[in-house]
Amino acid sequence: MLAQKGEGCAARFWLSMVRFFFSPSKINVLRFLRIMQRMEFRKYTKYQLRHLAREMRNTPTDAERLLWYRLRMKRLGGYRFLRQKVIGNAIVDFVCPKANLVIELDGGQHDRRSYADEARTRRLKQSGYRVIRFWNHEVINNIEGVVYAIQRALRG
């Protein structure tokens, strides 16, 4: 019997789980991790990502609002920034298309998701973007230092 639409990914997942538990070699562990990584980043369709990005633009965090005030309307060296932009399977906080620079603001939840953040950064770098990250409290407490770091990244 053929699998219904959407069941193929789950079937492959469970098949990999069976193989993993019945022959636990290093190769199978790496395959399992790759499959889990692929599944984690295919949660949303493009339409859902655009809708989620629009919602995120309408409800920014305090740090995002503060940094956006400094980046908007080409205030930073004439570079144009976009916020909550969909790139691939990710929504980035800020992006400068001209300089291929992505700015990510990390809150407390990113402490537990460091592996996922590293994988996301790798995918963005493979797409040709440079990624810089700041903690929310860093933006709130030291906005001038953050702006200076962004200016340095824009220059080269």
pLDDT on residue 1: 39
* Residue closest to 94 by CA, chosen among 130, 47, 42: 130
Q: How far apart are CA 72 and CA 64, in angstroms?
A: 11
Percent of the chain at pLDDT exceeding 70: 69
Q: What sign does the CA torsion over 130, 96, 126, 46 have?
A: positive
**pLDDT tier for residue 97 given thresholds of 50, 70 and 90:** very high
Q: How far apart are CA 133 and CA 102, in angstroms?
A: 8
**pLDDT tier for residue 119 given thresholds of 50, 70 and 90:** confident
Residues 6+ apart with CB under 8 A from 116: 40
Mean pLDDT of the chain: 81
Q: How far apart are CA 110 and CA 97, in angstroms?
A: 25
Lowest average pLDDT, out of 10-14, 79-83, 131-135, goes to: 10-14
Q: Is the pTM of this model over 0.75?
A: no
Average pLDDT score over residue span 87-98: 94
Residues 6+ apart with CB under 8 A from 35: 12, 13, 16
- pLDDT tens-digit series, residues 23-51: 555 555 566 556 555 555 556 788 888 98
Neighbour tally for 66: CB within 10 Å: 16
pLDDT on residue 145: 97
pLDDT on residue 35: 55
Strand order in the sheet with 90-96: 82-87, 90-96, 101-106, 130-135
pLDDT on residue 4: 45
Residues 6+ apart with CB under 8 A from 95: 81, 82, 85, 87, 101, 102, 103, 129
Average pLDDT score over residue span 71-95: 94
Q: Using CA atoms in the order 119, 93, 142, 118, what is the torsion angle rounded to 10 degrees?
A: 0
